[in-house]
Homo-oligomer: A and B are copies of this chain.
């Protein structure tokens, strides 16, 4: 079976997308998820131009990856410095990554117009930098920026940049369609020519400005590229990069070319959601393979056909990649995935029981309200406990009042809460940074009196997402809270048009999770 290496650049090129700003912790979490999924390269960022990326590489020194190689990104030396004296090159060496990638310009127009140097001088910059980084013990890759535009303008020069890198010790090069304007026929024929002209590994890096990033990646692989660069969910500047989930599914499921270990392909649906949630973006419902609508059928004839034989209107089995069929008009469910989830939580259930049917209904209703269980395992578990066991509410909230008012130049928030446990009740009040923080503090104060173990719980993450944003400030919001007690970490979710109510639901479920699982 042929293999290609997946080179993920979500953390570098993906971070160029409008609206995405990863924290260092976000980057670490995504790197771990990508490693678990089985990509070959994780391009982590530019340690010179961005202090946050430098901190990320520092943090990653103590986090071992199972199989992926972490890559630091930079550029050829500046035209007026030697490689050894260029601080950007030094930052690559200091990044402590064994593998580094530098970009240089393969389009003569960029060399003369932007760098304002001779073509020969730029080849020297490539050679010097690759040689020096190799000498310092790095495995070096070379990204040929604007390779396709360059090839169309001056093919010999474009190829000579690859050869310069190859002859200076680079392990591989990458053909970049930086402006995203190329067509599959061009990418195919140019890739074939490159294959004839160089002897090292080479990859393909495409952008979606003509809507053909995926097609261009696939035809390039079919024509000989053995590395594919792209981003999860296609995040990236302008119209985005090649969407790796589409590329991977196309190659692995339809062309029998292995991109990730076979048993991991079923996790791609949740990986896309995890990365999107971390970026505070969404996975478009229409995304091929992993979108919520990718296997949604609405036309009556299509629904009838699919019920007779799914091949009639589905190009693959959606469960292969962790997705589900949705029949939009009629009743339908993810029985088998919910059965799997419950079995994983040690419930002894099988697919055709009424328990499973009830869970399917509940989950579906909650999803219609705006819940997304991929990101909220804690909420799923709480729902299962409430529905499938002899559940007793550990506490109930009788009253909440939150007041927020201007005080001097600033704002002041406070909350009062009344909590009952059995026939006892407790009032507590607290001030906080904003209404949700005040509510959180007051709730803990009241609960700790009944349940001291609540003191072990701390909230490690709080995210807010507007679901149907075009109804403006009255839009529905989804609040996601991540909690830990030192041993375990769980996520809970609340949905409401009212952010305080949504937060309250997620907070209460988090506390319940702790109390219920303590007793199990």
The residues of A with any CB-CB pair to B shorter than 8 Å are 16-19, 21, 23, 25, 49-50, 109-110, 113-114, 178-181, 183-185, 208-212, 214-216, 218-219, 222, 234, 237-240, 243, 246-247, 249-250, 254-255, 280, 282, 284-289, 291, 293-300, 302, 305, 308-309, 311-316, 328, 331-332, 372, 374-375, 397-406, 410-411, 413, 432-437, 439-440, 458-466, 468-470, 472-475, 477, 481, 496-501, 503-504, 507
Contact = CB atoms under 8 A, between A and B. Distances in A.
A216 B215 CA distance: 9
Contacts of A284: 284
A437 B473 contact: yes
B288 A499 contact: no
A238 B464 contact: no
Given A401-B405, A464-B465, A286 B240 contact: yes
Contact of A25 (B179, B312, B437, B470): B470
A300 B172 CA distance: 27
Contacts of A291: 239
A193 B413 CA distance: 66
A402 B403 contact: yes
A316 B208 contact: no
A210 B254 contact: yes
A312 B309 CA distance: 50
Contact of A434 (B411, B481, B501): B501
B469 A184 contact: no
Contacts of A243: 211
Contact of A406 (B400, B433, B459, B462): B400
A18 B375 contact: yes
A436 B159 CA distance: 58
Given A375-B18, A459-B473, A499-B436, A400 B410 contact: no
Contacts of A312: 109-110, 113-114
Nearest to A400: B406
Contacts of A440: 472-473
B113 A464 contact: no
B463 A466 contact: yes
Given A209-B294, A499-B464, A179 B314 contact: yes
A507 B209 CA distance: 34
A250 B434 CA distance: 44
B181 A184 contact: no
Contacts of A375: 18-19
B298 A470 contact: no
A462 B472 contact: yes
B413 A500 contact: yes
Given A405-B399, A473-B436, A298 B16 contact: yes
A433 B464 contact: no
12 contacts: A17-B298, A18-B328, A237-B298, A237-B299, A238-B294, A238-B296, A239-B294, A240-B286, A399-B405, A404-B404, A440-B473, A472-B481
Contact of A296 (B180, B237, B296): B237
B372 A21 contact: yes
Contact of A210 (B250, B406, B474): B250
Contact of A435 (B179, B400, B499): B499
A138 to B, nearest CB: 22
A293 B477 CA distance: 24
A422 to B, nearest CB: 20
B214 A288 contact: no
Nearest to A146: B312
Nearest to A463: B466
B239 A286 contact: yes
A459 B209 CA distance: 30
The 7 closest A-B pairs by CB, nearest first: A181-B315, A215-B215, A459-B472, A434-B498, A211-B214, A211-B246, A433-B497
A499 B501 contact: no
Given A183-B250, A313-B179, A462 B458 contact: no
A113 B306 CA distance: 11
Contacts of A309: 113-114
Contacts of A250: 183, 210-212
Given A114-B308, A434-B496, 7 more contacts: A23-B470, A25-B470, A208-B288, A210-B214, A240-B286, A398-B406, A434-B499
